[in-house]
């Protein structure tokens, strides 16, 4: 085998020592930093991808995204740079092996991982993912090869190579659909869209594999695997191994629900469920192998050192596929367009592609309220026409606009509930104040249940139907701010006309 051309070279401050592994997008090397007397892992982007701006942007985004993360269950990134068209990222070098290699070791020995070790790995992975999710970062490629088991017995999440920063620029479906189909959530494979619940689904597949020794869905082609994730019922873990605790099967069934709404919504929810499993339910020691699910080819789960015992290398490939969308298209699959919760390519999407800062939203809203009230006061002093006498309800529109600005900033779609109630009542009160027909309240009160119902129904539907409620919180906030300003100004204008003729 010819030596790797980078071995022995100096990249930046780092001397490349040896190759550690290769993934779908990059090669990883062990390297040495002489000034700090520290060994590191250097991840170099594949040379054939450097010319493709989409992949280069993803590689750069990976470095920026995870360099900001500081958590014991997430690999630490130290540096990112370019030298002679070699794009590389420098990470901490973890002493240990991947979960993928450990699972393969058990398979070669005819065993399965002990249940206490399984739960320990899951809890560590959930802690790392939970922190990343709290920072707005979705991993998108959780699988055993991306979970490192250190010499200290900890599980560390690695390779945020296709991480999606929530609120960042939306890539095309063909660009976004990257990953490993055996561990990919249905919505990610179908639409290229994913959120924290998609990461939980992928981790659930890893959990299933640790429990049973196999991933639940297997087929001869990528398209067939995707369709099984979308349509086939989950092979029950206790049908494969009746000795598994019922509590663990319940957790697997929930996290691997095909509808994201039926899964655990956060890592904390899943971690809490795992904490309910008592030690008495977890027998110590390795477990024996069990027959695989129907139609599963066991050769596909072997990799690492254990791959040397398998002669057919084509059936052991589990690298992240950077060309997955095109692979599926060649098999006749056409991904659905992005769901309505994703930002479409239009002016509104451009306006709300990123949230406002909370201080900016507060001061912006207060500035607009102050400006409109100042105009009303100046009008009174100049013309003698009192806007407040008939148009005081414009202040309620401004209050709705203030809350809408906050919703735009914090991206919480549930703020639509008070906003809709305030906005609806502002319309009714404006009508009564300007026309003076307060007796119409006898009939108008019947609108109140409709307003409250809409205020509850719309956020609920967004929760159920929209994959990205943050986008709709931003979009709803921007739209409500515009409507509030227009209606507040219109109310003031009508009030001036009424004051002029009465």
Closest listed residue to residue 156, CA positions, set 188, 183, 197, 126: 126
Q: Using CA atoms, how far apart are residues 425 and 445, in angstroms rounded to an integer?
A: 10
Crossing angle of helices 267-275/196-212, nearest 10°? 30
Tokens 């919480």 identify what position? 412
85 Ramachandran zone, left/alpha/beta (phi>0; psi -120 to 50): left
- Cα-based distances in Å from 404 to 32, 189, 328, 363, 423: 52, 34, 42, 13, 10
* 40 within 8 A of 21, measured Cβ to Cβ: no
- Cα-based distances in Å from 478 to 55, 207, 360: 32, 41, 14
User: Sign (positive/negative) of CA torsion 239, 245, 247, 249?
Assistant: negative
- Residues with catalytic function: 141
Strands 287-288 and 111-112: antiparallel
In DSSP terms, which residues pair with 14 in a beta bridge? 11
């Amino acid at each position: 085998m010819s030596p790797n051309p980078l071995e022995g070279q100096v990249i930046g401050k780092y001397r490349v020592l040896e190759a550690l592994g290769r993934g779908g997008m990059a090669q990883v090397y062990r390297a040495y930093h002489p000034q700090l007397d520290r060994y590191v892992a250097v991840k170099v982007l594949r040379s054939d991808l450097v010319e493709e701006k989409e992949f280069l942007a993803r590689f750069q985004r990976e470095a920026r995204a995870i360099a900001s993360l500081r958590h014991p269950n997430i690999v630490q990134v130290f540096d990112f740079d370019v030298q002679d068209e070699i794009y590389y990222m420098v990470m901490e070098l973890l002493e240990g092996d991947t979960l993928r290699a450990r699972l393969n070791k058990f398979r070669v020995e005819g065993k399965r991982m002990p249940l206490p070790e399984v739960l320990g790995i899951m809890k560590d992975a959930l802690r790392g993912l939970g922190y990343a999710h709290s920072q707005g970062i979705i991993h998108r490629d959780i699988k055993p090869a991306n979970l490192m088991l250190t010499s200290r017995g900890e599980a560390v999440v690695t390779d945020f190579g296709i991480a999606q920063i929530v609120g960042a620029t939306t890539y095309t479906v063909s660009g976004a659909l990257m990953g490993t189909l055996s561990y990919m959530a249905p919505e990610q494979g179908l639409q290229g869209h994913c959120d924290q619940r998609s990461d939980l689904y992928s981790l659930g597949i890893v959990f299933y594999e640790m429990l049973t020794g196999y991933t639940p869905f297997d087929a001869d082609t990528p398209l067939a695997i995707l369709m099984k994730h979308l349509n086939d019922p989950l092979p029950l873990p206790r049908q494969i191994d009746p000795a598994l605790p019922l509590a663990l099967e319940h957790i697997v069934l929930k996290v691997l629900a095909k509808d994201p709404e039926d899964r655990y919504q956060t890592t904390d929810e899943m971690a809490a469920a795992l904490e309910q499993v008592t030690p008495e339910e977890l027998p110590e020691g390795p477990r024996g192998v069990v027959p695989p699910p129907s139609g599963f080819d066991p050769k596909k789960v072997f990799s690492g050192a254990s791959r040397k015992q398998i002669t057919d290398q084509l059936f052991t490939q589990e690298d992240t596929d950077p060309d997955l969308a095109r692979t599926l298209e060649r098999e006749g699959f056409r991904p659905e367009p992005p769901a309505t919760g994703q930002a479409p390519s239009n002016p509104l999407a451009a306006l709300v592609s990123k949230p406002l800062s909370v201080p900016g939203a507060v001061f912006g809203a207060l500035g607009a309220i102050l400006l409109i009230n100042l105009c009303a006061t100046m009008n009174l002093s100049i013309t003698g026409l009192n806007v407040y006498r008939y148009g005081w309800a414009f202040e309620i529109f401004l209050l709705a606009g203030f809350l809408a600005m906050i919703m735009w900033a914090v991206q919480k779609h549930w703020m639509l509930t008070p906003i809709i109630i305030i906005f609806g009542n502002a319309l009714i009160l404006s009508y009564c104040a300007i026309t003076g027909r307060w007796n119409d309240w006898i009939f108008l009160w019947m609108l109140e249940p409709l307003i409250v119902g809409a205020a509850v129904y719309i956020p609920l539907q967004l929760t159920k139907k929209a994959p990205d409620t943050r986008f709709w919180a931003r979009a709803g906030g921007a739209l409500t701010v515009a409507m509030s300003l227009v209606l507040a100004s219109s109310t003031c204008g009508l009030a001036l006309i009424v004051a002029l003729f009465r």
